[in-house]
């Protein structure tokens, strides 16, 4: 039903054109399509960028008084507002979701031009985030009807090294405390997703903070949506920091898959992309743990350490991943680059408890990631003491 996560992370960005340029210059995307005054659209301007199968849409209001976009921007700042799914039968899925109680933000409607027709519909999910269903079986245009080729292409882009990013691996949604399970149940009930994997705060914690996470997936397991919530710790977790600065639940990060993470990260760093840094002690522990594992990492560990790429593994395989710093001023949305080596998250939780710091879906790296984020939180003055009633106090 939901064949793939197409990506449109439709966002409301204050500097939408500059944001699209940032993703092209720093991450290796290319301008794909444009909609605005020059194409006959009088209300909203949209810039579409693409790399591999990944598409991001940066949208902003053209006129003063756009209440919907304006209020979203004031409340949340820059962020991913909509996650779009390619579907085969939009009408059927919307009807079934309606019967199960889902809120239909926009009933199925058709866009059409000389290249064909596309049917779309919009559903409300957690917080102010939405899902757009896109049925485009025979459409031959660039992106969607009404979109034209970009007005400008930066000649410098062709001179920069490739980003080597291929497709969306997963999209993570952060929830306030005790709201993770209801969101998971929403996906199970309304979209017929299933629980793919889960982990609790006893397994995902640092000395200061903790989280709980459940991954939901579609039937084909081509769409994966981890849902996180904070757990009580000594200090405010990054999940809680996100919820406070975003003004509620929302998309925390988007993971982009690559087949060559070493070259990709070298290229992205050469383009000026900034990533989180983990301590050298992480790699000392990694080498120690690998000595007792059946898995063999084919990449040079010295290079992975140099680039600060994380490694997560079990006896079936391993994955490599790295996280950017927040890609806007608020400490909210960031990005991930991930490469999988026969590591698809099909792991047994009882086995996980034996592995301690080695979990599927990159969970073995949550501790290292949280410690890196906590260092940034401390620099922002947000690694504050958290009390049982949820009040945080500065130290």
Binding-site residues for Fe cation, in ranges, read 170, 253, 336
Q: Which two tokens stand for residue 344?
A: 């698809």
How far is 73 from 185, CA to CA, in rounded Å? 28
Q: Which two tokens stand for residue 298?
A: 């084919």
How far is 200 from 177, CA to CA, in rounded Å? 13
How far is 57 from 44, CA to CA, in rounded Å? 12
Give the annotated binding-site residues. Answer: 170, 253, 336
> What residues contact 239, with CB distance under 8 A and at least 6 apart?
174, 209, 211, 228, 229, 230, 252
Q: Is 140 helix (H, G, I), strand (E, B) or coil?
A: coil
Q: Which two tokens stand for residue 243?
A: 């919820």
How far is 49 from 66, CA to CA, in rounded Å? 24
Write the DSSP string, 302-323.
HHHHHHT-EEEEETTEEEEEEE
Please choose, from the candidates 43, 44, 61, 52, the residue with its C-alpha nearest in 3D space to the C-alpha of residue 7.
Answer: 52
CA 82, 245, 18: angle at the middle one, nearest 5?
55
> What residues contact 141, with CB distance under 8 A and at least 6 apart?
113, 115, 116, 147
Q: Which two tokens stand for residue 32?
A: 């794909």
| 317 beta partners | 314
> What residues contact 181, with CB distance under 8 A and at least 6 apart?
214
């Amino acid at each position: 039903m939901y064949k793939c996560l197409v990506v449109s992370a439709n966002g409301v960005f204050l500097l939408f054109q500059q944001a699209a340029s940032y993703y092209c210059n720093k991450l290796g995307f290319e301008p794909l399509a444009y909609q605005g005054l020059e194409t006959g659209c009088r209300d909203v301007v949209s810039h579409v960028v693409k790399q591999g199968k990944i598409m991001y849409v940066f949208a902003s209001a053209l006129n003063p008084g756009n209440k919907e976009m304006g209020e979203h921007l004031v409340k949340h700042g820059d962020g991913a507002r909509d996650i779009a799914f390619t579907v085969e039968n939009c009408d059927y899925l919307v009807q079934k979701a309606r019967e199960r109680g889902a809120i239909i933000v926009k009933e199925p409607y058709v866009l059409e031009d000389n290249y064909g027709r596309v049917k779309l519909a919009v559903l409300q999910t957690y917080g102010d985030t939405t899902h757009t269903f896109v049925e485009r079986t025979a459409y031959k245009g660039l992106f969607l009807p009404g979109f034209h080729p970009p007005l400008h292409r930066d000649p410098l882009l062709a001179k920069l090294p490739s980003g080597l990013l291929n497709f969306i691996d997963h999209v993570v949604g952060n929830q306030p405390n005790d709201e993770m399970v209801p969101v998971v149940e929403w996906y199970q009930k309304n979209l017929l997703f299933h629980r793919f994997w889960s982990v609790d705060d006893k397994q995902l914690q640092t000395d200061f903070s903790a989280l709980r996470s459940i991954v939901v997936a579609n039937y084909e397991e081509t769409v994966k949506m981890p849902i996180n919530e904070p757990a009580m710790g000594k200090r405010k977790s990054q999940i809680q920091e996100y919820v406070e600065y975003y003004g509620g639940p929302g998309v925390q990060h988007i993971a982009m898959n690559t087949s060559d993470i070493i070259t990709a990260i070298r290229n992205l760093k050469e383009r000026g992309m900034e990533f989180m840094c983990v301590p050298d002690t992480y790699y000392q522990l990694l080498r120690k743990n690998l000595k007792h594992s059946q898995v063999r990492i084919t990449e040079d560990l010295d290079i992975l350490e140099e680039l600060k790429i994380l490694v997560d593994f079990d006896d079936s395989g391993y994955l490599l991943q790295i996280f950017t710093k927040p890609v806007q001023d608020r400490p909210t949305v960031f990005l991930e680059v991930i490469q999988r080596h026969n590591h698809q998250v099909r792991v047994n939780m009882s086995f996980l408890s034996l592995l301690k710091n080695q979990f599927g879906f990159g969970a073995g790296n949550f501790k290292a990631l949280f410690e890196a984020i906590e260092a940034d939180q401390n620099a922002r003055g947000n690694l504050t003491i958290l009390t049982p009633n949820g009040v945080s106090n500065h130290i």
